[in-house]
């Protein structure tokens, strides 16, 4: 009986992590892709290692701050209503795709 409960807890944990990962990808596709997929208006292109390396080097916090305040052609919050936590998930998703 105790083992069955442990298995359930483990399964719930794995499902939770997968959902968090899928969130970043799903949120990216709601808005950020519009500029970042093709590299519109000077946006660092999705999964382009050379363009992302210097940004990734500044750290996730710094990148999230840039998105929150906006920069160049990117409006504050990337033009979305996303919370800071959601923006962080997307930034992590984008950074991981370019590593």
* Phi, psi values for residue 74, rounded to 5°: -90, 120
Give the whole-angstrom CA distance, residue 64 versus residue 77. Answer: 9
Binding mask 14-53 for ligand HEC (x = CB under 6 A): -----------------xx-xxx---xxxxx---------
Q: Are 95 and 60 in contact (CB under 8 A)?
A: yes
66 binding ligand HEC? (CB under 6 A) = yes
Q: How far is Cα 81 from Cα 12, in angstroms, rounded to an integer? A: 29
Write down the least CB distance from residue 15 to ligand HEC, Å.
Answer: 25
Q: Does 71 bind ligand HEC (CB under 6 A)?
A: yes
DSSP string, 37-68: TTTGGGPPPTT-HHHHHHHHTT-HHHHHHHHH
Minimum distance of ligand HEC from residue 19's CB (angstroms): 19
Q: How many residues bind ligand HEC (CB under 6 A)?
A: 28
Q: What residues make contact with ligand HEC under the rule CB under 6 A?
A: 31-32, 34-36, 40-44, 55, 58, 62-63, 66-67, 71-74, 78-80, 82, 87, 90-91, 94
């Amino acid at each position: 009986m105790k083992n069955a409960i442990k298995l359930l807890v483990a399964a719930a944990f794995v499902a939770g992590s997968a959902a968090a990962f899928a969130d970043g990808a799903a949120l990216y596709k709601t808005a950020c892709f519009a500029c970042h997929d093709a590299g519109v208006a000077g946006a660092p292109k999705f999964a382009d290692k050379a363009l992302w390396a210097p940004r990734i080097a500044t750290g996730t916090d710094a990148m999230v701050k840039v998105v929150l305040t906006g920069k160049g052609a990117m409006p504050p919050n990337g033009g979305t209503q996303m919370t800071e936590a959601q923006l962080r998930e997307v930034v992590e998703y984008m950074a991981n795709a370019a590593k």
